[in-house]
Structure 1
């Protein structure tokens, strides 16, 4: 789940089954009581019908938490990162970064850093399309050291300069879950 609408949809699925969640957050639903196996099967079917899935195993939960933290950081906190990404993840997950990095790479076939960069570039695309901020304002808001750094990273990931991307506007942004 990556937005408030996602949380609303997931909450509605639970409630439609008579399961009232205590809280629904990005990537996590807290329930007062455990659910029975037949409810879990029905819940899984209902969640998949609206594009979601249940995550039960520890590895998948950890990967999901990493993704959720990164998406939340980029999308909602304007990348207000006071430390480096590895320290940020350690502070939130209380696990060694090397362990997290190895697990993420093994399961996702990409590094945490590349995933983070792809999230930032998608945010840059979004902000370019809105055409409300200058490139230097975008670079600053996403914690890039300079416009040049943002431009180089943008071109490396997309194959286009930010200016060229802005001019063609026909390139569709990717869905967050497709990154």
Structure 2
């Protein structure tokens, strides 16, 4: 059995996990890259004890199948946004449910437990990254970008952009064009 530990970034985290596993008398193999190899499945009681013992250290325990599902959700969202052509046929929830063959509520619950944000928040973040990409690589207008990314209006896109970046789209675009200008001059 493999378990995934979110936020296990350093050797200190690995040592803390080893200490907790030893305290709970849970046999383990390799611990690396946020993964714990266990020679046997944990019963629910031991799983909960381990999970609770790691929380004070900012470490979260997840079943690897859920982490894999979250990665599949992220890939599906990236596909949706990368191939956007302005003609959205399905809602994001329907698209993800059909693509991944799970109920959207289940997908949303797993995603938020593993990532700490909702699927909707993640989509908004990815859309804003896409807007930044368009600004830095093309001269298309904000209304065209709004259409391509399935926003109901330019005002809606502008509001989300400012909420995520702290800047209005026009201010951000101005900064990008100044940087491009200084690279050409300098």
User: What is the TM-score with the length of structure 2 in the denominator?
Assistant: 0.58
User: What is the TM-score with the length of structure 1 in the denominator?
Assistant: 0.60
**Match for residue 63 of structure 1 among 70, 81, 89:** 70
Q: Deviations over 1:29-61 (max 9, x none)?
A: xxxxxxxxxxxxxxxxxxxxxxxxxxx932122
Q: Which residue of 2 aligns with 1:146?
A: 153
Q: Which residue of 2 aligns with 1:96?
A: 103
Structure 1 unpaired stretches of 5+: 1-55, 173-179
1:81-92 equivalences under 5 Å are: 81-92=88-99
Residue-pair matches, total: 117
Counterpart CA distance in 2 for 1:75 and 1:161 is 23
Q: Deviations over 1:94-149 (max 9, x none)?
A: 11111111110000011100000100000001101223201111111111111111
- Structure 1 segments, 4+ long, off by >3 Å, are 77-80
Structure 2 unpaired stretches of 5+: 1-62, 180-186
Deviates more, 1:149-158 or 1:127-136: 127-136
Matched, 1:136 2:157: no
1:1-179 equivalences under 5 Å are: 57-78=64-85, 80-169=87-176
Counterpart CA distance in 1 for 2:140 and 2:146 is 10
Counterpart CA distance in 2 for 1:159 and 1:147 is 17
